[in-house]
Structure 1
Amino acid sequence: MSDDLREGTTGYPESAPRMGFFTDTSVCIGCKACEVACKEWNVIPDDGLSLLGMSYDNTGMLGADTWRHVAFIEQDKPLGRQNNAVAAMPTGPTSTHATAGVVADGLGNKHGAGFGTDTGGLHPGPRPGDNAPGPVGPDGRKELRWLMASDVCKHCTHAACLDVCPTGALIRTEFGTVIVQEDICNGCGYCVPACPYGVIDQRKDDGRVWKCTLCYDRLSGGQEPACAKACPTDSIQYGPLDELRDRAAHRVEDLHDAGVPEARLYGADPDDGVGGAGAFFLLLDEPEVYGFPPDPVVTTRDLPRTWRHTALAAAGVAATVAAVFLGARR
C-alpha cells in the first residue's frame, strides 16, 4: 500500500485520493481553537489547568489526551530587523496563487502573526535593507518573535506503528490515514517507541494508545476534521494530499518573494525517511526549533534485514549443534 500512497491513492478498490493536513504555521495565531475543537468532537479528557511555566502553552506536547498541540516558541529577534513580511494565504474555492498579498508588520508581533494595521488596512513588513530600528516597549525591551504551530500525528506513508502492532488495532483507512481501533488495542505499547515523532501515547487509566484519527468519523460523513473547521485563519487546511502539496509549494514561493527566505516545508517530501507525511507543515525556522526531528526515519526500516540475519544466525547455530552431535556419536 505504501507505493499507492506515494502515488496519491490509498490502495482501496475505489482508489480514493489520499487525504491529509497542511498546517501553515506562518498564519497561526495561537488561539488553540483547534485543540478545543479536537477535544470536544472526540470527547478527549482534559489535560489539567497548569500553564507548565511555558508561555501560554497549557498542554506541553502531544499525548493520549492531546491530539492537537499548539506550541508557542519565543525568539529574541527584533521585529523591525527580521525582514519577515507575511504573504496572506488566500483560501477557499476561488483562491489563486496570484491573489496573495503582503500583510502586517512582521511575523509574530504582540497580537500574534500580524494580520494588518490597527485600522484593518494592509501594509508590507520590513524589506531587505531597511535600517529602521525594531519596535521598543516602554521598558526599553525589543519585541520578541512568536512562532506558533499546531502539531498533530503525521499519518506517515511508511508508518512504523502499523508494522509493530500485533493485534491489528492500528490500520490504514480508505483516506490514507492511520487510526487506532480502541476496542482492539491491548495496551502492549509497542507502537509508542516505534513512532519517530513521539506522537503515540498510552492513557494512564487503561493503558491503551490514542492519537489523532484525522476525525475519521467526520470524513466518512463528508465533513472536514474538527480542527480544520474551527481554525479561524485557515492555518490548518484539509484536502487531497497532492493538492495540498501543490498549494504549499506556491505558499513557500510567495513567502520567499515577500522576504521570508527561511520559510520551508516539513514532511511534504515523499522521498524522506517516512515516505512523506499525510500531515505536513510550513515552518519559519529549523525543524528542531519546533521540536520536530530534522531527518525522521521509519524505525522499522531495518526489520527485514534484521530478520534475515537472525534466520541465518539461527541456521548457523543449528548446523553447528548438529555437527557437534553427529561428531560425538561417531
Structure 2
Amino acid sequence: MSPARMGFFTDTSVCIGCKACEVACKEWNAIPEDGLKLTGMSYDNTEGLGADTWRHVAFIEQRKPVGLAEPGVDHAGPVPDSGTPPAEAPMTPTTPGSGGELRWLMASDVCKHCTRAGCLDVCPTGALFRTEYGTVVVQEDVCNGCGYCIPACPYGVIDQRKDDGRAWKCTLCYDRIGEGLTPACAKACPTESIQYGPLDELRARAGERLTWLHDTGVADARLYGHDPHDGVGGDGAFFLLLDEPEVYGLPPDPVVTTRDLPSMWRHAGAAALTLLGGLAAVFAAHGLTGGKR
C-alpha cells in the first residue's frame, strides 16, 4: 500500500516573520548562504524563492486599518492535534477598525509541489520525479542544466545556480520524511504556521481554520492552492492568506504551463496521419497513371 500524499499547510495568520524556517531549511539541506544584502523591501532580505532560497518569508506592510482580537481571547483559533502543546500565537487581525493604520502580513512561501507539474512534463532527463509521497524532487546529479523547467513553473519557484547551472528547489525534505521525520522548516516553526502531514487532513484542518477566522470577523481570509480543481490540480503546499494572492506575490489563477500538450500531440498526430494519407494517395495515383503508360 502506497503512503498517503504528504504536504504543507502554511497558515500566514499566525506567522511572526522569525525566519526560523529559512534558517532550518538552509542548515538541513546545506543550501548556500544568500540574502545578506539590503533589498529595500522592508525586512525581506531574500526577495523570493530561488536555487539558494527554498523557503522565503515575505514581509508586507499595508496602510490598511485593522483591529486586533481582545487580549485574553483565544485568538489562535483551532490548532493541529499534534500531541504537543500549541505554541503561543500572535494576535490575529480581525475586522477593519481603529486598531491602527499599518498592518504587517508575513508569509513563508515554498515550492507548491503541484498535482499537475509542468516542470515534470518538460524535463528531458528525468531529473525531476514525483516521489511516493506525491512531492516533486530534483535529482541534481541527473540534471543537465537545460533550464526547461524554469519557465514551465507557473509560480516561478525553480531556479538555476549560477556556479553550475543546475536546477534546485524544495524537496519537502524527502530524506527526512522517508524516515518518518517532519520537514526542517515545519519542525522549526515556533507558531505552527507551517504544518506538515497527510494532504487530505491538512485540507480539512485548513477549512476549519478558515471558518473560525470568518466567524471572528476576518472576512479577507482565504485559502490558496487547496482546490484540486484549479489550474494545477491543487497544490501539495497550500496557504491561508489574509489578502489577495497578488499582495503576497502569488499568481491569482495559476495554470500548469503544459496543460495543452495532450491536445497538441493529438492535433499533431492527426495532421501527420492526414499528411501520410495524402502522400499515399499521391503515390497510388502516380502508380495508376504510370501503369496506363
- Normalised by the size of structure 2, how large is the TM-score? 0.88
Match of 1:152 in 2: 110
2:8 matches 1:46: no
Deviations 1:141-196 (A, max 9, x none): xx411111100001111111111111111111111111011111111111111111
- Please report how far the alpha carbon of residue 94 of structure 1 lies from its aligned counterpart in structure 2 after TM superposition: 5.0
CA distance in 1: counterparts of 2:89 and 2:127, whole angstroms:
46
Match of 1:17 in 2: 4
| Aligned partner of 1:93 among 79, 82, 88 | 82
- Please report how far the alpha carbon of residue 103 of structure 1 lies from its aligned counterpart in structure 2 after TM superposition: 7.1
One-letter amino acid of the structure 1 residue matched with residue 148 of structure 2: Y
One-letter amino acid of the structure 2 residue matched with residue 69 of structure 1: H
Match of 2:164 in 1: 206
Q: 1:191 to 1:326 in 2, by over 3 A?
A: same
Q: 1:206 to 1:95 in 2, by over 3 A?
A: closer
- Please report how far the alpha carbon of residue 316 of structure 1 lies from its aligned counterpart in structure 2 after TM superposition: 3.3
Q: 1:48 to 1:268 in 2, by over 3 A?
A: closer
Show structure 1 runs of 5+ residues with no match: 1-13, 108-124, 136-142
CA distance in 2: counterparts of 1:195 and 1:285, whole angstroms:
23
CA distance in 1: counterparts of 2:90 and 2:30, whole angstroms:
37
- Please report how far the alpha carbon of residue 314 of structure 1 lies from its aligned counterpart in structure 2 after TM superposition: 2.9
Match of 2:151 in 1: 193
RMSD: 2.7
One-letter amino acid of the structure 2 residue matched with residue 190 of structure 1: Y
CA distance in 2: counterparts of 1:200 and 1:102, whole angstroms:
31
Tell me if structure 2 keeps the 8 A contact 1:60–1:71. Answer: yes
Q: 1:328 to 1:86 in 2, by over 3 A?
A: farther
2:44 matches 1:57: yes
CA distance in 1: counterparts of 2:121 and 2:90, whole angstroms:
45
SS in 1 for 2:175: helix
Match of 1:9 in 2: none
Q: 1:255 to 1:178 in 2, by over 3 A?
A: same
Name the count of aligned residue pairs.
284
CA distance in 1: counterparts of 2:46 and 2:124, whole angstroms:
30
Match of 2:15 in 1: 28
Q: 1:200 to 1:316 in 2, by over 3 A?
A: same
One-letter amino acid of the structure 1 residue matched with residue 76 of structure 2: A
Match of 1:279 in 2: 237
- Please report how far the alpha carbon of residue 79 of structure 1 lies from its aligned counterpart in structure 2 after TM superposition: 2.9
Match of 2:130 in 1: 172
Alignment of 1:1-330 (within 5 A): 14-80=1-67, 87-89=75-77, 90-93=79-82, 104=91, 107=93, 133-135=98-100, 143-321=101-279, 330=289
